[in-house]
Structure 1
Amino acid sequence: MSLRQEVLHLYRCLMRLSYRWESALGNPGATEEERKYIREESRRLFKKNKSITDEKEVQDHLKEGVTRLDLAIHYRNPYPRPVHLPQHVLHSKTGKRLKGQQRKLEQSKPIYVKSYDDES
């Protein structure tokens, strides 16, 4: 399967999920809000990344999308899960250790929140 087909398949899966999603709370208002979040978040991220041509980068984004999809289905929660970073990397971000701390932060970040780098 080509990368383009994989991307389109993931997008279709996300859109189908957004129309059949049922909230774990059982509240119709929460269900509609979560459905809307899935649709808007999917569209936003796919539009943001549509100009990426590097095969490795596309595969990384695909892996992130599939992981987020699997987590949403498994935990019945479409929102990103909290990230718990090791405490030793959360010290002051000034001085000599800045590059090492940034590298440790990047390495410890789970795949399913990589797309939030630009927004934080």
Structure 2
Amino acid sequence: MMTRLRQEVLRLYGQIIRISRTWESVNAANSETERLYIKNEARRLFSLNKHITDEDDIQKCLDEANARVELAIHYRNPYPRPVHVAPAFVPASKRKKVQSRRSEQSKPVYMHSQNK
């Protein structure tokens, strides 16, 4: 199982690096900046997560990376899409704990690495 995950991680990393080489921005003047961002972000996140050994955690990281690649290609924007979660009404005594839990639960799969 780990061999399959390792191959999938390496395949995905290679795919992202290839995308960074051929990336064309909507605004041609930004293409080089966005290429550099894609490459640096991939390097940063892959090296940050290289210590992960739990198969479920590795799969979650792969799912996030695949979602970010698909969104970037679809919207022609390599940057993570911002997410706004409206604060729910919670009594003041429980507000901080409940809001932080709801905020974390409502975060889309492609935003989990943004806290790192």
Q: Do Structure 1 and Structure 2 share a fold, with TM-score over 0.5?
A: yes
Q: What does residue 112 of structure 2 align with?
A: 114
Q: What does residue 100 of structure 1 align with?
A: 98
- Determine whether 1:24 maps to 2:26: yes
Q: Deviations over 1:47-79 (max 9, x none)?
A: 000000011000000000000000000000001
Give the C-alpha shift of residue 116 in structure 1.
1.3
Equivalent pair of 2:64/2:112 in contact (CA under 8 Å):
yes
**What amino acid sits opposite 2:108 in the alignment?**
P
**What amino acid sits opposite 1:10 in the alignment?**
L
Q: What does residue 44 of structure 1 align with?
A: 44
Structure 2 length as normaliser, TM-score?
0.90
Query: Where do 5+ consecutive residues of structure 1 fail to align?
Result: none
Q: What does residue 56 of structure 1 align with?
A: 56
Q: What does residue 67 of structure 1 align with?
A: 67
Distance (whole Å) between structure 2 residues aligned to residue 4 and residue 34 of structure 1 = 27
Distance (whole Å) between structure 1 residues aligned to residue 19 and residue 109 of structure 2 = 21
Sequence identity percentage: 52
Give the C-alpha shift of residue 95 in structure 1.
3.3
**What amino acid sits opposite 2:70 in the alignment?**
D
Give the C-alpha shift of residue 87 in structure 1.
2.8
Structure 1 stretches of 4+ moved >3 Å: none
Distance (whole Å) between structure 2 residues aligned to residue 37 and residue 61 of structure 1 = 19
Root-mean-square deviation (CA, aligned residues, Å) is 1.8
Structure 1 length as normaliser, TM-score?
0.87
Query: Where do 5+ consecutive residues of structure 2 fail to align?
Result: none
Q: What does residue 35 of structure 1 align with?
A: 35
Distance (whole Å) between structure 1 residues aligned to residue 16 and residue 41 of structure 2 = 10
Distance (whole Å) between structure 2 residues aligned to residue 83 and residue 71 of structure 1 = 14
Q: Deviations over 1:79-111 (max 9, x none)?
A: 11111212317x79x732332222111111111
